[in-house]
């Protein structure tokens, strides 16, 4: 048994002597009540950490997987709802010129419409990456239908067929753009963007453009404010144009940083050097 001074006996009483008798290792690491408390605390922390690790291993991972599955299902519902809204708009646009039935362009537009309906109908039950491919295919078909619709309208009015142009950036369901306007996203630099005639007139008179609002995990917001959620939805509308056009047009917005990678994946194209440089700068 270690020697205990009279001062120790005076300060701590005979309990300290008992501790030394039962726990000789206390001599090596200290004899004060604070040291014992410290070691008990450390032991409790170690037990806590070990328990947390065990929970993570045996319960946390399934909980994480359940949350991921729940988020994915919610994402599919949001995307399917968005596509259904797009299709309602397209349906109304096509139905509005039903008098032109027989037009090759209008018939082609309805064919694209049917394809888009088929793709949209599969989104809610699709699994994995096929969801994103369905979304791209759906909005690509909607854009093709809109282009055919524009051709049918021109045909009906006796005008020459319009050139193929990108959709209105503010809302691709507005149809092919007819002009460019200068627009600066919040906290970003102005740039020329393709827009429909209605939005061009609104901006010319100082009115805000009719930006497409969509459902997100944070509520209803402009589609470009949803980070990566609507990248594939947007890329489908811009099929047939420069794969990185949307990345350039929406640079500086929340979706902007997600578009180069998504476009490279969807179009199997390398990200252009200037966009790579912008990423490094933004990092």
Nearer to Zn ion by Cβ, of 36 and 211: the residue is 211
Q: What angle do CA 272, 274, 279 make, to 5 degrees?
A: 100
User: Of how many residues is the chain composed?
Assistant: 283
Give the distance, in angstroms, between the CA of residue 84 and the centroid of all CA atoms in the same chain: 19
User: For residue 188, which of 248, 275, 242 has the smallest C-alpha distance?
Assistant: 248
Nearer to Zn ion by Cβ, of 89 and 271: the residue is 89
Give the distance, in angstroms, between the CA of residue 140 and the centroid of all CA atoms in the same chain: 19
Nearer to Zn ion by Cβ, of 153 and 174: the residue is 174
Q: 156-185 as b/e, with b when 16 or more CB fall inside 10 Å?
A: eeeeeeeeebbbbbbbbbbbbbbbebebeb
How many CA atoms does the CB half-sphere of 91 hold within 13 Å?
A: 10
Nearer to Zn ion by Cβ, of 39 and 183: the residue is 183
Q: What's the min distance (Å) between Cβ of 191 and Zn ion?
A: 16
Q: What's the min distance (Å) between Cβ of 173 and Zn ion?
A: 8
Residues that bind Zn ion (CB under 5 A): 168, 170, 174, 196, 199
Q: What's the min distance (Å) between Cβ of 166 and Zn ion?
A: 11
Q: What's the min distance (Å) between Cβ of 164 and Zn ion?
A: 17
Nearer to Zn ion by Cβ, of 31 and 177: the residue is 177
User: For residue 188, which of 256, 276, 253 has the smallest C-alpha distance?
Assistant: 253
Grouping H, G, I as helix, E, B as strand and the rest as coil, residue 187 is coil
Q: What's the min distance (Å) between Cβ of 84 and Zn ion?
A: 20
Nearer to Zn ion by Cβ, of 82 and 168: the residue is 168
CA distances from 148 to 23, 43, 248 (A): 88, 72, 26
Q: What's the min distance (Å) between Cβ of 168 and Zn ion?
A: 3
């Amino acid at each position: 048994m270690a020697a205990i001074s009279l001062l120790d006996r005076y300060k701590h009483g005979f309990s300290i002597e008992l501790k030394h008798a039962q726990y000789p290792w206390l001599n090596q690491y200290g004899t004060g009540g604070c040291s014992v408390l410290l070691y008990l605390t450390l032991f409790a922390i170690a037990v806590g950490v070990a328990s947390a690790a065990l929970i993570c291993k045996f319960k946390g991972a399934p909980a994480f997987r359940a949350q991921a599955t729940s988020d994915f299902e919610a994402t599919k519902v949001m995307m399917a709802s968005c596509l259904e809204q797009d299709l309602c708009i397209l349906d109304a646009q096509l139905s509005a010129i039903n008098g032109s039935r027989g037009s090759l362009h209008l018939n082609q537009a309805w064919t694209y419409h049917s394809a888009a309906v088929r793709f949209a109908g599969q989104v809610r039950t699709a699994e994995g990456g096929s969801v994103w491919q369905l979304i791209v295919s759906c909005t690509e078909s909607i854009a093709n239908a809109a282009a055919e619709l524009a051709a049918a309208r021109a045909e009906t009015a006796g005008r020459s067929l319009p050139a193929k142009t990108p959709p209105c950036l503010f809302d691709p369901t507005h149809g092919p753009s007819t002009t460019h306007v200068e627009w600066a996203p919040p906290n970003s630099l102005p740039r020329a963007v393709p827009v429909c005639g209605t939005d061009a007139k609104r901006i010319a008179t100082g009115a805000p453009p009719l930006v497409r609002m969509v459902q997100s995990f944070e509520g209803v917001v402009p589609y470009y404010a949803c980070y990566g959620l609507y990248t594939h939805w947007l890329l489908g509308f811009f099929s047939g144009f420069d794969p990185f056009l949307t990345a350039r047009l929406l640079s500086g917005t929340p979706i902007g940083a997600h578009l180069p990678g998504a476009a490279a994946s969807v179009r199997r194209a390398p990200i252009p050097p200037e966009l790579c440089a912008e990423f490094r700068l933004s990092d």
